[in-house]
Structure 1
Amino acid sequence: MKVEDCYGRLFTQEQLEVELLGQAQELPAMVEEKTGLFCNRCGTKIDKSKWKLQIGSYYCRACIQLGRVRSDQVLYYFLQQAFPQEEVLRWQGSLTPFQSRVSQELVQSLTDRKPMMVHAVTGAGKTEMMYQVVAETIKKGRCVCIATPRIDVCIELYKRMTKDFSCPISLLHGDSEPYFRTTLVISTTHQLLKFYQAFDLLIIDEVDAFPFVDNPVLYHAVSNAVTKNGKLIYLTATSTKELDKKVKKQEINRVSLPRRFHGNPLVIPRKVWLKDLRKKVEKKQVPGKLLRLIKEQRKTSFPLILFVSEIELGEKLLNLLRQNFKDEIIELVTSKTENRLELVEKFRNQEITILVSTTILERGVTFPKVDVFVIEANHRLFTKSTLVQIAGRVGRSMERPTGELLFLAEGTSQEMTQAIKEIKEMNREAGF
């Protein structure tokens, strides 16, 4: 391992070669506070009754997959070093006046250490809005990381930004290539646990998504990964309780963008009563109403996503739909689908006409002109945040800023009601 690739990173003793240990700074592996002993890497309180080694020292089980942190050892980190100052933005697109206002506020906020939250509706163009603040930071020889909870979102972001930025970009997730030091990093939020005071600008995208949402370990990772004078920016379409509290206490500045880039309102979900879905599926039948709705939708030739709550239901529904719609190309995408990225690309290219999906595709992917049906929208896994994100898949393109968006359920959940309410409120805030 080259010493340059260690700058801004955090290691256990076992992870470093002997010659590098002497060049590293030391950090207590654990800290004793009034309320207990805490891991310095992930912030977890140590369970002294269970997380004890035979030699008498303690270890952290919460982040053990990254290498064992022990109370009788130290952690090692390497001070981040400046990068060459360079112009790296090659994106030639233009922002709407609304996007431009947010972009300018982000750039201006670099002089202020207070974190900022950008609350922008799905399809507002958050990615392009952060380009300028990223470019300005790199222009000063500083380091930037854009972190997001989902691997799929990281990959989508990486594809876009490698086209729009001339600098090398290090992509980090559980299955990625090894890290190499560069001025711009795109990573999952879990990967931040491997950094220490590394980033002058740290942007957390999709803060409302699992597993980041209100997760103390990942918030600790964020706190560790940003430099002492660094800037922290949160991007979200649906805020979280934790962030709302901080905004209320004025610990975070908030800027809002309730309007999509194409200037049209968010599509409001239509609730449709759908009875006995599970019973019908178990009898190897598709409910008549659902069949009729799909047949009607297929007359438009627009792509269709059917969101389901569980993999097993998705698998059964896939087989039934294939029997009933033999002229359609239908596939299923879940967290266990090995060729998920390939199927997503085929759907985007209209090589697949109907896609059954779990919430794995609730965010971070854009499909032009798509329609969406949420099956069993009142299921406990469809939270307000999830439903808002799913709804945001519809109407994202300039060519078709509208679309069919159905919440199909036997009854209405509180989460459904809150999601629809939030969508309507954002439309009102945008002047619709």
Structure 2
Amino acid sequence: MRFVSLFLNNRLTIAPETLVNDSSLKAVPFFELPMVEQPPLNQTFRYDEKLQQILYGKQLLFDELSFTVDQIQLHYENGYVKYSIGISKTSNGYVCSRCGNEKSRLFAVFSCFRCKSDSCAYCRNCIMMGRVSECTPMISWCGPKVRWPLENNLLWNGELSSGQQLASQKFVEGIGSEGELLIWAVCGAGKTEVLFKGIEKALNLGLRVCIATPRTDVVLELAPRLKAVFPNSMVASYYGGSEERETKAQLVISTTHQMYRFKQAFNIMIVDEVDAFPYSYDQTLQHSVSLAVTPKHFLLYLSATPSKTMKKAAMNERLPCVKIPKRFHGFPLPVPKMVWGGEWKKRLERGKLPATFLKWLKAQAESGRRAMIFVSSVSVLEKLIELIRKEVDVPVDSVHSEDPLRKEKVIQFRNEDIQLLLTTTILERGVTVPFLDVAVFGADHDVFTESALVQIAGRSGRSKDDHDGKVLLFHYGKSLSMIQAINHIKNMNKEAGL
């Protein structure tokens, strides 16, 4: 987009060229504009509350707002909206102000219709959130703060285990102060319930809270639970395709990718599944979380399988940590059983299933129990589901990250409309279904790391009424990850005294 600089009310200001009818003024791309002071706040201006609630604590593109350019410009001229550079050029290359990307290979140039440049640079790293380019200003709110309700009562009558109680207390103590805390809790320990009291305290102090997680499925799992226990609070879920992204919310449950859109918004940041892909591998996602918090904030990490770095920091007391080695119902974690499956890749290519897997499959179908069958890739998933449907006469379906019906299929699985659900590792976290067994087809594949297998095993036995679900690892040779995952689970059970 091209802007012009001009004098307005005896001050040098800027405006989109489409709003200025003066051909003598030179229009230039946004990044070429001279530095101008932010217009002072006009207290008599009647600002749009809808724009306030959408922009508050965020930095967005013009294209992400349903307001016209002249409406946004009017708020800018009255000091309520700020324009800032999206892509900066330095001596070392480009920097994206939204995601923090500095890698030259993740920038590109294009012939831009808006700024008329043949080499307008843009960031490829966060392009899935909308294109940020040199001529694209980021828009943020600098007017009055959004006011939150002061009564946010927790409606939950459950009881916490001793481990949960300790973790909850530590979290509550941190609310209102600066710091960080790791809650290292086994799958099924009841991490969500541990958060309730701390969130309640934060909301009633007028603080803003975010629960950020790498997976959309986890957002879909958490949002209804939190809305139910905080019925009087402003709660919204943010993810790709969410209809609540413009909803005013004091408590936000979001994917980590959506953090790119926030800036100094949250006093309390809870990063769930902090070890999960892609958050654990993507430094720009971690950077976006650091930008999304206020200068004074409390950071809480949740994980069943923290990284070696985090474990070391906790052991050296550089990172405060509370460990919950026991599930809320007090029963042991199901220990996976390794089952020889032979050369499963070659058998799939020949259109056959390994004998041991076929035997389990038929028994599982006859039992009436639901099962999640994890596979290493979409290609394996597509071949396997065809063969399974030929062998059993029960509802079978599959899901993966690019499946447009992923949300609907998970709901069907919960509602027992699907008995056998094949999935990639996309569902290794965040999905809680009672009366469930788990199988990993080709568990020796590299994609099944120790943490992935621990998380997968954690899908089973989560209900106190069905705490001993089965976990089977079908393989063609025991991998180190399989052995480490089993030892990990056994050690947690031992630590819990089980």
TM-score between both structures, scaled by the size of structure 1: 0.91
**What secondary structure is seen at the aligned counterpart in 1 of 2:104?**
coil
Question: CA, structure 1 residues 278+4, in 2 after alignment: closer, same or farther (shift >3 Å)?
Answer: closer
Structure 2 Cα separation of the partners of residues 400 and 300 of structure 1: 14
Give the alignment of 1:205-224 within 5 angstroms: 205-224=272-291
Q: Which amino acid aligns with 1:64?
A: I
Distance in 1, matches of 2:154 and 2:106, equals: 53
What is the aligned partner in structure 2 of residue 18 from structure 1? Answer: 73
Distance 1:200 1:284 in 2: 55
Matches for 1:99-248 after TM superposition, within 5 Å:
99-166=164-231, 167-177=233-243, 178-244=245-311, 246-247=313-314
- C-alpha distance in structure 1 between counterparts of 2:87 and 2:358, whole Å: 58
* Distance in structure 2 (CA, Å) of the matches to 1:341 and 1:46: 34
Asked whether 1:40 is paired with 2:97, we answer: yes
Unaligned runs of 5+ in 1: none
Q: Is the 8 A contact 2:444 2:477 kept in 1?
A: yes
Between 1:92-101 and 1:60-69, the stretch displaced more is 60-69
Rounded Cα–Cα distance in structure 1 between residues aligned with 2:348 and 2:282: 36
- Tell me how far 1:282 sits from its aligned partner: 2.3
User: Which whole-Å CA distance do the structure 1 matches of 2:300 and 2:161 have between them?
Assistant: 21
Q: Is the deviation greater in 234-243 or in 74-83? A: 74-83
Q: Unpaired segments of 5 or more residues in structure 2?
A: 1-49, 66-71, 111-116
C-alpha separation in 1, matches of 2:346 and 2:133: 52
The question of whether the paired residues in 1 share the 8 Å contact of 2:234 and 2:248 is answered with no
- TM-score, length-normalised on structure 2? 0.80
Shift of the 34–119 alpha-carbon distance from structure 1 to 2, 3 Å rule, reads: farther
Equivalent of residue 405 in structure 1, options 449, 464, 471: 471
Distance 1:368 1:220, change over 3 A: same
Distance 1:352 1:30, change over 3 A: closer
RMSD: 2.5
1:5 maps to what in 2?
54
Q: CA deviation at 1:71?
A: 5.3
Alpha-carbon distance in structure 2 between the residues aligned to 1:13 and 1:346: 38
- Of 71, 77, 80, which aligns to 2:140? 77
* Pair 1:351 & 2:417 matched: yes
The CA deviation string for residues 299-352 of structure 1, in whole angstroms up to 9 with x for no partner, is: 5432222111122222222222222112x2222222233333333223223232
Corresponding position of 2:129: 66
Partner secondary structure for residue 2 of structure 1 = helix
2:268 and 2:170 mapped to 1: Cα distance? 15
Output one character per residue of 1:245-300: Cα deviation in whole Å (capped at 9) or x when no partner.
Answer: 55466553221111100001111111111102222222222222212222334454
Q: Does the 8 Å contact 1:258/1:426 carry over to 2?
A: yes
Greater C-alpha radius of gyration: 2
Residue 270 of structure 1 corresponds to which residue in structure 2? 337
Residues 329, 105 of structure 1: alpha-carbon distance in 2 compared, 3 angstrom cutoff: same
Change (3 A) 1:48 1:212: closer
Judge conservation of contact 1:271–1:406 (CA < 8 Å) in 2.
Answer: yes
Instruction: Kindly indicate whether the alpha-carbon contact (under 8 Å) linking 2:89 and 2:95 is maintained by their aligned counterparts in 1.
Output: yes
Greater relative contact order (Cα < 8 A, sep 6+):
1
The alpha-carbon distance between structure 1 residues 49 and 239, as it changes in their structure 2 partners (threshold 3 A), is closer
Identity of aligned residues (%): 38
**Partners of 1:33 and 1:107 in 2: CA distance:** 43
3-state SS of 1:103 partner:
helix
Q: Deviations over 1:203-248 (max 9, x none)?
A: 1111122211132111111101111111111111111245345546
Residues matched between the structures, number: 431
Assess, with a 3 A threshold, how the Cα gap between structure 1 residues 217 and 430 changes in structure 2: closer, same or farther.
Answer: same
Judging changes above 3 Å, is the alpha-carbon distance between structure 1 residues 181 and 242 closer, same or farther for their aligned structure 2 residues?
A: farther
Match of 1:416 in 2: 482
